[in-house]
């Protein structure tokens, strides 16, 4: 049986108006009409349990047809992932629904001096989402974005002298910043809140923070560019455990796969039982409330510095470059993405550079990460890819923890 996590015991009248409207919108998409033809109405959680789930591609088909518009202000389009060839997108009105997040989650107060360390550009949403949240908090805020390695020291000194109290970013980026600060002996005694979004928490980051900023506590947001923020947690919660916002309906399937329904009537993306690829279960949080424990991804996507990378797509894409027989991705503990390339025949001297240029020079996909952090990508031409000793299979992705 599917299990639901909702702040009310069943769908309210307002929720039913929303689920009916979502169903109508999805039925109006010619490519999806058949799938929803058998669903008469969604008035209860039992009805919802019988409704079909949507996958990423289904939502992209729906959005391409519906082209949603906000009732007021600007309709923003953000990139949620995809391959080097085509981005997947999500829509949101100005404000990115952060009014509801702020009403239920007080990671920043008016007294805070907040540094926004999420990278901006190429339609990535987290930077703008954090700014919308800061607007509600009414704090002092600074837009930093991504830093290159040689910029850490001067910026850390700036944060110290400006008495920065809050810092936000993707855990893998935060780890680079605070790992560097720890090595350099920097202390940030004024820092009390670390906001994070985009990846799971990294315990190593907790250790670095304890050394650098003894008063800092973590405050997490969980979601995706399609659903926007689904849930939050506080320093009192386990890092993998989340409390959904009232307008977000979470369903845990029998196979532990999660799907989400956005009950917010202003929601532009038609999120009705939308599967993000995350697995999870409903638990009692360490803070005492019922909550969602997220168990990680099960869909062939990896989060690399907060950006979703489709492993199979990237491996296939690199395989189309002339001179490449097969490629393999290696993710290491030191936050490096390695692309191993097996050459077709004799490897030309430029093969590694060609592959690198193809990935970094792409308009879409993870190129933004590497344009800003060229050292985060390493392309190596090898005689053999890494195989599984037992089965002899060569996986698309190898994860190494020795870094
Ligand atoms: Zn909790």
Structural domains of the chain sorted by starting position, each given as residue range(s) with its CATH number in brackets = 78-299 (3.40.50.12780), 302-400 (3.30.300.30)
E strands along 20-125, which residues?
75-82, 87-93, 113-116
Q: Compute the distance from residue 212 Cα to the ligand 1 centre, in Å.
A: 25
Q: Compute the distance from residue 244 Cα to the ligand 1 centre, in Å.
A: 10
**Separation CA 1–CA 286 (nearest Å):** 25
Q: Compute the distance from residue 292 Cα to the ligand 1 centre, in Å.
A: 9
Q: Compute the distance from residue 283 Cα to the ligand 1 centre, in Å.
A: 10
Q: Compute the distance from residue 163 Cα to the ligand 1 centre, in Å.
A: 29
Residue 300 sits at φ, ψ, to 5 deg, of: 75, 10
Write the pLDDT tens digit of every residue in 313-355. 888 889 889 899 889 999 887 778 999 999 988 777 899 999 9
Q: Compute the distance from residue 258 Cα to the ligand 1 centre, in Å.
A: 19
- The dihedral built from the CA positions of residue 385, 372, 313 and 231, taken in this order, carries a sign that is positive
Q: Compute the distance from residue 31 Cα to the ligand 1 centre, in Å.
A: 40
Q: Compute the distance from residue 243 Cα to the ligand 1 centre, in Å.
A: 6
Q: Compute the distance from residue 5 Cα to the ligand 1 centre, in Å.
A: 14
Q: Which three-class secondary structure state does DSSP give residue 276?
A: strand
Is residue 68 predicted with pLDDT exceeding 70?
yes
Write the pLDDT tens digit of every residue in 167-183. 999 988 898 899 999 99
pLDDT band at 392 (very low <50, low <70, confident <90, very high): low
**pTM score:** 0.84
Would residue 323 be called left, alpha or beta, if left means φ above 0 and alpha means ψ between -120 and 50 degrees? left
Q: Compute the distance from residue 277 Cα to the ligand 1 centre, in Å.
A: 22
Strands 324-332 and 307-310: unpaired
């Amino acid at each position: 049986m599917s299990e639901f996590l909702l702040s009310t015991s069943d769908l309210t009248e307002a929720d039913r108006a929303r689920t009916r409207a979502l169903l109508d919108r999805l039925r109006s998409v010619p490519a999806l009409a058949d799938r929803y033809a058998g669903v008469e109405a969604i008035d209860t959680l039992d009805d919802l349990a019988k409704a079909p789930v949507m996958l990423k591609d289904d939502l992209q088909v729906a959005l391409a047809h519906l082209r949603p518009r906000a009732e007021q202000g600007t309709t923003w389009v953000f990139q949620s992932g995809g391959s080097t060839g085509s981005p997947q997108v999500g829509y949101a009105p100005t404000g990115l629904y952060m009014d509801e997040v702020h009403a239920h989650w007080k990671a920043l107060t008016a007294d805070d001096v907040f540094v926004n360390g999420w990278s901006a550009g190429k339609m990535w949403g987290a930077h703008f989402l954090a700014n919308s949240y800061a607007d509600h908090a009414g704090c002092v805020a600074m837009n930093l974005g991504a830093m290159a390695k040689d910029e850490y020291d001067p910026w850390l000194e700036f944060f110290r002298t400006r008495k920065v109290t809050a810092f936000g970013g993707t855990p893998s980026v935060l780890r680079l910043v605070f790992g560097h600060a720890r090595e350099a002996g920097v202390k940030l005694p004024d820092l009390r809140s670390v906001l994070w979004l985009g990846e799971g928490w990294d315990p190593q980051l907790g250790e670095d923070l304890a050394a650098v900023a003894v008063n800092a506590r973590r405050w997490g947001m969980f979601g995706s560019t399609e659903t926007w923020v689904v849930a939050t947690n506080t320093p009192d919660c386990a890092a993998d455990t989340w409390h959904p916002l009232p307008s977000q309906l979470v369903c845990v399937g029998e196979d532990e796969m999660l799907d989400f329904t956005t009950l917010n009537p202003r929601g532009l993306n038609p999120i009705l039982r939308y599967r993000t690829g995350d697995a999870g279960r409903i638990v009692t949080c360490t803070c005492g409330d019922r909550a969602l424990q997220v168990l990680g991804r099960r869909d062939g996507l990896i989060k690399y510095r907060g950006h979703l990378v489709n492993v199979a797509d990237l491996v296939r894409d690199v395989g189309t470059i002339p001179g490449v027989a097969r490629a393999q991705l290696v993710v290491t503990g030191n936050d490096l993405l390695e692309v191993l390339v097996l050459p077709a025949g004799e490897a030309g001297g430029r093969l590694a550079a060609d592959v690198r240029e193809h990935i970094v020079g792409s308009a879409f996909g993870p190129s933004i990460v590497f344009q800003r952090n060229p050292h985060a990508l390493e392309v190596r031409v090898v005689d053999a890819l890494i195989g599984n000793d037992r089965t002899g299979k060569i996986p698309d992705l190898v994860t190494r923890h020795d870094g």
